[in-house]
A and B are shown apart, each in its own frame.
Chain A
Amino acid sequence: MSLGLFSILFAGSLAAGALGGALGMAGGIFVVPLLTLVAGASFPDAVAVSLVSVVACSCASAPQFLTAGLTNLRLAVVLEVATAFGALVGVLVVGAIPRPVLYGIFAVVLLVSALQMAAGRNDRGPRHPPRQRPRLSGAFVDHTGRTVTYQVVRLPWGVALMFAAGSLSALLGIGSGVLKIPAMDAAMRLPIKASSATANLMIGVTACGAAAAYLLSGRLDLDLSAPVVLGSLAGSVLGARFLVRTAARWLRAVFTTVLLVVAVPMAANAFGLHWGVSA
């Protein structure tokens, strides 16, 4: 690999990791197009490298969130049953589902998630309050020094969405934080910083099974992995620091924009235009 390509992949992955880290995502959705368009990698190779970078982003940004008290560990491990099971199903069925169908489903999910984020939480309160889970409740200190306490509601909805997120991770080489965060914020009504930090931790477990399979079976391109993983590691550390310091409203606006922007190439792929990824 030339020094120029190494630098481009490193810089691109750093930017993807920083943006992802700031939003509690992993940036995998940007890494796959980067590898296929710039490095000329095949789609399966890009997926394999992206999964390792997704794990790297999760591991690198997790300490910042954990020490800030933003991550809900108990909720994370409960939801990881669904994401890990979804990833297992994804590994089992990969290759059997037409790729345009997957892109189409994902584009719809992105658009719905963006609408949820843009609308924000509508806290008028349901007529019959949903069941709360006191053991999964949490608290953290926000950027103004105020202690924010929260309850977890609608857990079955969250679990169902997490299963879908896990399957998409294994199939498309993404962290699916883009789906996990709206699930936790909109469905389970968590504060956005807690949902971002908790989703970030979960992304690592979701992606590590498929990533390990690629590595152990010799299907991981190590030359491509070096610049991408190193860039992702550096970017996610920067992004995590940004998230801890940023107000939730600002973060929500950025997140909504990213959802809409990512939905365009995903929808294009569903119609066979092959934006961002190779066929």
Chain B
Amino acid sequence: MTSAAASAAADQALAGRIATLMRVGTAGASALLVAGACLRPAGATGIATVLLGSGCGLLVLLPVLRLVLMAGHFARLAERSYATISLVVLALVIAAVVVGVMA
């Protein structure tokens, strides 16, 4: 197998891992949101707020986890440029969160 073909196969495996992360993450977030939406009208406001916040938080975390997966993947392949790019994107996202919270 050539180097390019090996990289392509490794990238497809990464795509599979990201797909699993997204499936599991969105299923978990959906469960939290459904539970929160059901408990809110029943009067359990505190628990409902925690569940709804956790559901939204889990969703927002998924793209960040995807970037961590990609950085690790490219680091394992010794592709420093793509690993660095992934970490730069991660840093920019974190900077946006910090700036947005402080605004």
**A residues with CB within 8 A of B:** 1, 3, 6, 52, 55-56, 58-60, 62-63, 66-67, 69, 71, 73-74, 77-78, 80-81, 84-85, 87-88, 91-92, 94-95, 170, 201, 204-205, 208-217, 220, 222-223, 225-227, 229-230, 233
Contact = CB atoms under 8 A, between A and B. Distances in A.
B86 A77 contact: yes
B44 interface: no
A73 to B, nearest CB: 6
Contacts of A226: 33, 36-37, 40, 52, 55
Contacts of A212: 57, 60-61, 97, 100
A229 B29 CA distance: 10
Contact of B40 (A201, A211, A223): A223
B59 A213 contact: no
Nearest to B23: A63
Interface in B42-71: 49, 52-53, 55-57, 59-64, 66-67, 70
B17 to A, nearest CB: 9
B38 to A, nearest CB: 10
Q: Chain A's interface: helix, strand, loop or mixed, by majority?
A: helix
Interface of B: 11-12, 14-16, 18-20, 22-23, 25-26, 29-30, 33-34, 36-37, 40-41, 49, 52-53, 55-57, 59-64, 66-67, 70, 82, 85-86, 88-89, 92-101, 103
A67 B19 contact: yes
Contact of B63 (A69, A208, A214, A227): A208
Contact of A55 (B53, B60, B86): B60
Contact of A222 (B53, B62, B67, B95): B53
A164 B86 CA distance: 20
Given A87-B96, A213-B101, A223-B40, A230 B67 contact: no
Contact of A6 (B37, B92, B94): B37
